Amino acid sequence: MKMKDIFPSMPSMLKNNMYVELAKRNLKRQSVRTILAAIGIIIGVIAISSMGILGNSLKLSVTDSFADVGDRLVVSPAPGENQITERQVDQMRKVANIESIIPVSSSGEIIEYKKSGATIQSFVSVYSISKDDLEKLAELEEGRYFKAGSTDCVVGAGIASNLELTPGQKIELDGNKLRVVGILKEKGMGFDINTDSGVFTSQEMYNKLYPDAEEGYNTVIVIVKDIDNIDAVSDEIEERINKKEELVTVFAMNVITDSLDDVFRSISMFLIGIGSISLLVAGVSILNVMLMSTMERTKEIGIMKAVGASRKDILKMFLLEALFLGVIASTAGAILTISGSYLIMALIVKNTSYLLTLSSMFYVLEGFVFGIATSLVGGMYPAWKASRMKPLDALRYE
Amino acid sequence: MQQAKPSPSPKKKIVPSDRPYPIVYLKDVKRIYTLGNNRIHALNGVSLSIKKGDFVTIMGSSGSGKSTLLNMIGCLDLPTSGKVKINNIDLSKLDDDGLTAIRRNNIGFIFQQFNLIPTLTAIENVEIPMIFNGQSSEKRRRKALSMLKRADLPLEFANHKPNEMSGGQQQRVAIARALANDPPILLADEPTGNLDTRTGNNIMELLKQLNASGTTVIVVTHDPKMEEYSNTSIRIQDGEIIK
């Protein structure tokens, strides 16, 4: 028997609304039992969808920190090599499909600042980078970028907030005073350069700060035109430069984001697995409730059969009841999940943006669908059992 | 096994042919129940022929086999051996859904216990057989109302649930339900058994009226007074017809 035969179509089912009416009344008849069974489904739906949302929000919050870096390669000197030379950078320029090449020199500096009376030391990275390249890597929060060749600098959000800097103030690095002309937007953790704790200045100023620094660069960031070409670009750079010996290491950022994706997918699956157990329990309780219903209504089933109900009719009646229970409970579960998660995120995390994404809503839909499916599966055996009852035996049942 | 039994489509009305035939025909019907090691011969070779328009009472003491006989005619039970034909259709050739279709279109049941669905109102109870016959809700409503009228139920009870009605009223609803799909045969199993004498007589009068309009009525009873309503009386004892 096909599902199509049992549920011909929604319009005709609603037109023959006696089935719907019967299902409603039979569920109402044992309202306490119905509510208890519904609570089982509601908990199951909430468990599945909230676990899914939890996993998804974790994933989103971490991958967001790595956003926009998937199209980047970080080229650093191979172990044993100190610098990337200008010649190697020129070799990279010959590789096709590259959007831009950003050579960076960097050094570290300890700076001191006062916070509530105490002097705190903090580590900052000092970068030599061209103004144009910095624009590609980080956005300004306030102020402006430094001019080429100037002694001005732009600082990351972390340093600015620690030192309570505003554009126009000066900071001292190793005895040299630099004027802060711009403050960058907060960016979060990165694998290329740490903009939040960085001080960016021109090459001229950098050379003044570190007159003894070797020629060349510490890191070269390569932005590819098309993320699909990233592996090819990576291979070609290695081929060109590491022809004879290992001079540079090329590291693709998407490797990190991909493996993070995998990790969080596993976490999501694990959490949903836990949620599914509660739905399984709910399914068993539906099975139990419907079985009790068929037993109690044996005589009614006999009457229905005597007055002309076929097996299909009886099957339809009981499945519709299970479907009703499932739809109502799953809807309640979905609404509770969305409103509950919203409250939790708004009150505790103070950020609801991860909840209202398509991928989070997908888990709500998944919980909803699984809730209905569980009810239907739980109702299937009792419905089948009811449909197979012999009318004479059922009529005699007291 | 299945392919040898052409069963009529469940929703289709089974159309009788023009040739005259008994509406109920039993030939050498035996029904043996096995209870543990005991074999109980509930029917022991019953042959019977009932014409269209008859009013038949089947009399017998309890355990005589009269209910078994009624269940055979009502397609609720199949014989161990022998032949049963309803409206010229051989029941032995039908599967479960085929038997359901015969019941739905040919037979109206009236029970001693009324057997109404407790969650449904009077009019909804009458609609039930029409739902299984695929009637539209509007048509059902109208027909159910006219059947309740025909069964003499005061119409203010149409929206009452069974537990809000007297026994006689419930039996009238049950009769209206039995009439819902215009069956040619009405089967009543002790229809007055749970009613007082006066109400019982009213119900028998109603059955008599229905018979007068062409419906074949078969009543199983142990009350000899019921015989006076019928034009044919069958007495059954120890699973055999004695008169």
Q: CB of A396 within 8 Å of any CB in chain B?
A: no
Q: CB of A313 within 8 Å of any CB in chain B?
A: yes
Using an 8 Å CB-CB cutoff, list chain A residues near B132.
Answer: 304, 307-310, 313
- Got the DSSP string for B149-208? HHTT--GGGTT--GGGS-HHHHHHHHHHHHHTT--SEEEEESTTTTS-HHHHHHHHHHHH
**What is the three-class DSSP state of B236?**
strand
Question: b/e string for A130-150 if b means 16 or more Cβ within 10 A?
Answer: bbebbeebbebeebebbeeeb
Q: What is the mean pLDDT of residues B227-233?
A: 90
- Whether residues B71 and A307 touch (CB distance < 8 A) is answered with no
Residue type for position A34: T
pLDDT of residue A2: 52
Q: CB of B136 within 8 Å of any CB in chain A?
A: yes
B116-125, B177-186, B222-231: least confident range = B222-231
Please tell me the distance in Å from B60's CA to the nearest CA on chain A. 20
Using an 8 Å CB-CB cutoff, list chain A residues near B177.
Answer: 307
Q: CB of B115 within 8 Å of any CB in chain A?
A: yes
pLDDT category of residue A327 using cuts at 50, 70 and 90: very high
Q: What is the mean pLDDT of residues A393-398?
A: 83
Helices (H) and strands (E) in chain B, counts: 6, 10
Q: What is the mean pLDDT of residues A305-312?
A: 90
pLDDT of residue A53: 86
What are A248's two structure tokens?
A: 């540079």
Q: Is the pLDDT of residue A191 over 80?
A: no
Look up tokens 């100023």; give the residue: A205
pLDDT of residue A265: 83
Q: Is the pLDDT of residue B96 over 90?
A: no
Of the two residues A71 and B8, the one the predictor is more confident about is A71
- Whether residues B100 and A303 touch (CB distance < 8 A) is answered with no
Please tell me the distance in Å from A29's CA to the nearest CA on chain B. 8
What are A212's two structure tokens?
A: 């003894």
Q: Which of B100, B120, B140 shows the shortest C-beta gap to A310?
A: B100
- Cα separation, A239 vs B51, in Å, equals 102
Using an 8 Å CB-CB cutoff, list chain B residues near A16.
Answer: 131, 136-137
pLDDT category of residue B219 using cuts at 50, 70 and 90: very high
Residue B20: φ, ψ to 5°: -70, 135
pLDDT of residue A23: 84
pLDDT of residue B114: 92
Q: Are the CB atoms for B128 and A19 separated by under 8 Å?
A: no
Largest CA distance in chain A: 104
A/B interface, count of CB pairs below 8 Å: 76
pLDDT of residue A93: 86
Please tell me the distance in Å from B12's CA to the nearest CA on chain A. 12
pLDDT of residue A28: 84
pTM: 0.70
Q: Is the pLDDT of residue B216 over 90?
A: yes
Q: Please provide the average confidence, as pLDDT, over all residues in chain B.
A: 88
Q: Beta partners for B35?
A: B38
pLDDT category of residue B158 using cuts at 50, 70 and 90: very high
Question: Element (H or E) spanning A126, and its range?
Answer: strand A118-128
Residue type for position B212: A
> In chain B, pLDDT over 70 holds for what percent of residues?
92
pLDDT tens-place string over residues A24-66? 888 888 888 889 889 988 998 998 888 888 888 887 777 776 6
Q: Please provide the average confidence, as pLDDT, over all residues in chain A.
A: 83
pLDDT of residue B225: 85
Q: Is the pLDDT of residue B107 over 90?
A: yes
> In chain A, pLDDT over 90 holds for what percent of residues?
13
- Whether residues A19 and B129 touch (CB distance < 8 A) is answered with no
pLDDT of residue B2: 44
Q: Are the CB atoms for A327 and A38 separated by under 8 Å?
A: no
Q: Is the pLDDT of residue A293 over 80?
A: yes
**Cα–Cα distance list, A228 to A72, A96, A236, A263 (Å):** 11, 13, 14, 22
pLDDT tens-place string over residues B115-124? 999 989 999 9
- Whether residues A307 and B100 touch (CB distance < 8 A) is answered with no
- Whether residues B127 and A18 touch (CB distance < 8 A) is answered with yes
pLDDT of residue A106: 86
pLDDT of residue B24: 93
ipTM of the complex: 0.85
Residue A312, CA atoms < 13 Å, CB-side half-sphere: 19
**Cα–Cα distance list, A390 to A192, A297, A308, B94 (Å):** 75, 13, 13, 15
Question: In chain B, whose CA is at the least distance from the CA of A309?
Answer: B132
User: Which among A20, A307, A388 is the top mutation candidate for probing chain B, defined by the most B β-carbons within 10 Å of its own β-carbon?
Assistant: A307
Question: In chain B, whose CA is at the least distance from the CA of A19?
Answer: B131
What are A188's two structure tokens?
A: 């979060």
pLDDT category of residue B1 using cuts at 50, 70 and 90: very low
Q: Which of A306, A311, A313 shows the shortest C-beta gap to B103?
A: A306
A70-74, A76-80, A155-159, B17-21: least confident range = B17-21
pLDDT category of residue B171 using cuts at 50, 70 and 90: very high
Q: CB of B54 within 8 Å of any CB in chain A?
A: no
Q: CB of B124 within 8 Å of any CB in chain A?
A: yes
